[in-house]
Structure 1
């Protein structure tokens, strides 16, 4: 069964969010202060209008009306200026926090063990790095500052309402139970609903990625209808998940709208009664009604962005969950002495009950070149991954100088052994940047020597910009870049899993001989279908049905007339 990457719980999300905000106390205080000042400036207009109504009722002059109008204009302008600077401060704080979130997530993703990523599949991780990051970006840029603004505005507006007349604040209490019950009902259901929605989208991405990557296999085995059914099922699950969250909103939103209207109507009616009884003035009722009306906008923004915060919180939980992946390396404290790599009684299975390797024994003599050959599906690539320390055997051990490879920290492991497969990635940047990934402190001369070892074309210099929108490398050139990284990394043991498969046979053989000269004295394990690699090797290991059935030099195995001899004759014909 495919392993799904974990999701952080609500407590972890809250701790992380608080930690992020505590890193920026100055900008946070500045932002909140500007929003508070803008809210205070916005509270002046209803109070002034209430005074104006009261003066008109009692009789006033044109000068008095002009003075109030001028005061209102001043406060409106002041509020506009403060809102502008508050929005700017919020945006700066949001972008700074978002940058830290992205950097932190990249560090977390890069720390996930390769074996875990492969078991989980690409769909879940792709969704987290794309859809969840985008959703969180929207929340950080807009939902968080808008929510903070709304909270500050609501707080000061209620304060102003109480100052106008405490008795006039009573009608607002009618909305409290409606909003409280509605919010509790919604918040109990929304987080889980949005997590299901994101997980369902991950399944769609995973299924589509598998279908596209294996398009030739799907076509050859006539699996198109099965893949279409899988996609239809994933879309149906996503539809049900999104319909559930939409159903929550169709209950929540009308309920909140009702809670907005009732206090305004109640303030007018009850305020009128209080005025008739002489408990309050008409100006106070006017100001109170305007304040209650003014509460609608920040409350509406607060509750609307609350839904967006649920989406962002679910995305943040999924992003933080990446850090919860357990490390697949258990440091034992044993230091490798740079000696031989040895596999003893190694067994491994991807699915319980179906072993891919069955009791493999292999000792790599320092400085020799070993070719691993055999039919497809025999377990060659799996053996290569275990010899490179990518996966741990189910039983038995793979050691380097007596230290189990899976108990070495990654930095120590890469100094012992490195794996290059036929799958390569060219990063956006210069050729120099791409090769120097193996050794960031490498000089240009060292990088050139590494490229020369893999027969790199001279016309593509170190400053050539690679990646999307720049110079596009052919698949064969991408393999050469990967091999150049390997030469530059300079581990004492190299595992090449079809590392030259994308080159034509003549170029591949020439490249392998060039590498052999450069890597003289280092141990090389080459998994290959092209048997000239085996012909040039010191020893050949024949893997069949998860076992090494033959081991020896090319000439000895041909003379034995066994499985290798049959492969050699077939390849020669």
Structure 2
């Protein structure tokens, strides 16, 4: 930035020389003292300053472009990091469309500003300040002429800036709504077709586009006032200087060269001011986009630095390390909407190496409980601890608790990168072993083996293959605790049984918490926890709970069609 400031100031100073030299030539010619050699020397000096200005401006722009690209790269990284640090429920509530618009459209707008608008605006401001100073040095009268348009310029700038930020923020949100509507319709196309919702989705998209259109009309209306008024304010000083300067010359107050130089300076002033006008609208867009990007860091529900440090670090700032793999839930309450708890004072302890099944009716809070155990969400009240440390506040590389659901993502990368992403640099034999363990035999027959590109633009994987890949990814990560929430639900029965048998051998000695939607998983567990209406109502071994003839026994009989099978 120091180089940018120095180079920009030098370029602006050098740009002051040509108009002054032209004025000198005019004065020499008018006085009759001009010779060809004198004019030629002044012309060569003028040419030299013009070349110097070109070189200095080029260097200044190069330096500021490098700064802009690096700042943009950091901004992208911070945005991705900010999104990944959000509580999952917050990211899900924001919607894919909004996050995509922020990470593409908004980042693109800020990038254009950093690369082009910022250097242009900075250079224009420096040039304008130097030119005003040069005109006053020529003659105070000429300087006063240059300031004629300033009051009108200040008024229109203030009027525009007062209204533009809110208008462009609204436009950005409306664009996000359009993207969200389009993406949700595309992702749910089969559902739309199955239920005949085409007209409903089209109407919703039209409404979103209509809102976006109205916000754009609003910003266009602001520009329709700002640009004409600012153009008048920009041209007015040149007209006034020519009239008053000409009169002052005839009265002998200023020289003809000073009037010519002043006119050239005014003309030189219109160019940077025009650039300011041109880029002001971009700066307003960028300000709104920057607020939407950086706003990720201030979303309610995201743990702040103080909360994180106090929860997962000692008083001296040293990061806490879990004493063991024991998991404890103490008075845990959780709500997706304020004032409506879905979990009510859950107390539960899971010992290292234990196999625990969590069962209960649909909507009882089983999946929510699993997310809290994995540290995906943070309880509204109470604590979820692993080895005495809040699990949600541990860094991911030290959490060692993995939640495996039926929803998995295949990244646009090689099969090797997809499986090894949690443990970069792991050897290929371990990757193949993990794939074999989950019966992903199809991986052996791929033409490029582990180098085969999968995901978007590569080999498409069906739901079962994607789930097998996710399970292999977990095995490579080798956590001490696994939380399985319908982890094998998308596999066909034969493959699911093979995967479960293979996983059983690998999971030996680890803590396994299963969100059991099929009760045969509960039958094989060490203990069964029954969750009803967000409360832990029963806890014990399968046989004991069946004998007790409570809620679990009723679920077990229902699962087996009313036939009692211990």
TM over 0.5: yes
Cα separation, 2, equivalents of 1:462 and 1:534: 36
Cα separation, 2, equivalents of 1:376 and 1:356: 13
Cα separation, 2, equivalents of 1:402 and 1:94: 45
Cα separation, 1, equivalents of 2:190 and 2:341: 27
Cα separation, 2, equivalents of 1:363 and 1:298: 69
**Residue aligning to 2:302:** 327
Structure 1 segment 86-235 matched on structure 2, within 5 A: 86-218=60-192, 224-235=198-209
Cα separation, 1, equivalents of 2:9 and 2:144: 24
Please give the per-residue CA displacement for 1:60-87, whole angstroms capped at 9, x wherever unaligned: 4444444444444333333333333333
Q: 1:81 to 1:355 in 2, by over 3 A?
A: closer
2:23 maps to 1:50: yes
Shift of residue 294, structure 1, vs aligned partner: 1.2
**Residue aligning to 1:437:** 421
User: SS in structure 1 opposite 2:482?
Assistant: strand
2:395 maps to 1:410: yes
Q: 1:375 to 1:221 in 2, by over 3 A?
A: farther
Cα separation, 1, equivalents of 2:6 and 2:411: 43
User: SS in structure 2 opposite 1:287?
Assistant: helix
Shift of residue 188, structure 1, vs aligned partner: 2.1
2:383 maps to 1:391: no
**Residue aligning to 1:77:** 51
**Residue aligning to 1:494:** 482
**Residue aligning to 1:483:** 471
**Residue aligning to 1:510:** 498
User: SS in structure 1 opposite 2:221?
Assistant: helix
Cα separation, 1, equivalents of 2:83 and 2:383: 28
User: SS in structure 1 opposite 2:147?
Assistant: helix
C-alpha contact 2:374 2:402 (8 A) present in aligned 1 = yes
**Residue aligning to 1:380:** 366
**Residue aligning to 2:6:** 33
C-alpha contact 2:89 2:377 (8 A) present in aligned 1 = yes
**Residue aligning to 2:404:** 420
**Residue aligning to 2:557:** 565
C-alpha contact 1:454 1:511 (8 A) present in aligned 2 = yes
Q: 1:220 to 1:527 in 2, by over 3 A?
A: farther
Shift of residue 214, structure 1, vs aligned partner: 4.0
**Residue aligning to 1:256:** 230
C-alpha contact 1:347 1:358 (8 A) present in aligned 2 = yes
Cα separation, 1, equivalents of 2:321 and 2:3: 52
Shift of residue 322, structure 1, vs aligned partner: 1.6
Q: 1:492 to 1:70 in 2, by over 3 A?
A: closer
C-alpha contact 1:370 1:537 (8 A) present in aligned 2 = yes
C-alpha contact 2:415 2:452 (8 A) present in aligned 1 = yes
Cα separation, 2, equivalents of 1:512 and 1:175: 79
Higher mean displacement: 554-563 or 464-473: 554-563
Cα separation, 2, equivalents of 1:314 and 1:67: 52
Higher mean displacement: 150-159 or 385-394: 385-394
Shift of residue 137, structure 1, vs aligned partner: 0.5
Q: 1:51 to 1:389 in 2, by over 3 A?
A: closer
Q: 1:55 to 1:488 in 2, by over 3 A?
A: same
**Residue aligning to 2:317:** none
User: SS in structure 1 opposite 2:212?
Assistant: helix
Q: 1:285 to 1:312 in 2, by over 3 A?
A: same
**Residue aligning to 1:273:** 247
2:444 to 442, 447, 458: 458
Please give the per-residue CA displacement for 1:212-234, whole angstroms capped at 9, x wherever unaligned: 44445555555555544443443
Q: Which protein has greater RCO, CA pairs closer than 8 Å, 6+ apart? A: 1
C-alpha contact 1:509 1:532 (8 A) present in aligned 2 = no
Shift of residue 476, structure 1, vs aligned partner: 2.6
Cα separation, 1, equivalents of 2:160 and 2:562: 68
Q: 1:47 to 1:335 in 2, by over 3 A?
A: closer
Q: 1:386 to 1:77 in 2, by over 3 A?
A: closer
Shift of residue 192, structure 1, vs aligned partner: 2.3
Shift of residue 117, structure 1, vs aligned partner: 1.6
C-alpha contact 2:76 2:103 (8 A) present in aligned 1 = no
| TM-score, normalised relative to structure 2 | 0.84
Cα separation, 2, equivalents of 1:568 and 1:397: 36
**Residue aligning to 2:211:** 237
C-alpha contact 1:558 1:565 (8 A) present in aligned 2 = no
C-alpha contact 1:336 1:403 (8 A) present in aligned 2 = yes
User: SS in structure 1 opposite 2:149?
Assistant: helix
2:270 maps to 1:284: no
Cα separation, 1, equivalents of 2:163 and 2:138: 38
Across the aligned residues of Structure 1 and Structure 2, the Cα RMSD in angstroms comes to 3.3
User: SS in structure 1 opposite 2:248?
Assistant: helix
2:519 maps to 1:526: no
Q: 1:212 to 1:375 in 2, by over 3 A?
A: farther
User: SS in structure 2 opposite 1:491?
Assistant: coil
Shift of residue 365, structure 1, vs aligned partner: 4.9
